[in-house]
Amino acid sequence: MSTNFLRAAQSTFRQSIYRPSHIASLRQFHTTSPNMTVHNYQTADAFKQAIKDNKVVLLDCFATWCGPCKAIAPILANHSNDEQFKDIHFAKIDVDDLPELSQELGITAMPTFLLFKDGNIEPAEKLVGANPNALVTILKKHA
């Protein structure tokens, strides 16, 4: 009987060391939806309307098969939720779904980021490639 008592005491001691109860109360899980989001446009008209409706629009031209596009997508989503970029409208188009718009915008590689200002269809900034630091520089410049 004393062996069982010691095993129980050891088990309780291990749990208190490895899983302290006060740490469980510190864990914070956020269930609220993000403040902003990256809007995925399916038509050229919808995208052009977004340029007219928003002062600053950052467009991510991507392809579903593009590895660098997949790598930078979560970074872009994080920036869209960042308070310092709240005035920027984040948009995406799949170049395979909208080839005419891609050609009109001069997309030659993926990912390509275009920044539009004041309803102008001509991009104010262009970034080709998945370069997170250069992307932040452009966002901070126009935020």
Do the beta carbons of residue 97 and residue 39 sit within 8 Å?
no
Residue at 14: amino acid letter? R
Edge to edge, the sheet with strand 56-62 lists 38-40, 88-94, 56-62, 112-117, 125-128
Segments in the chain forming alpha helices (H): 2-18, 21-24, 44-53, 67-80, 99-105, 132-142
Return d(Cα 64, Cα 35) in angstroms, integer.
Answer: 25
Residues acting as catalytic residues: 66, 69
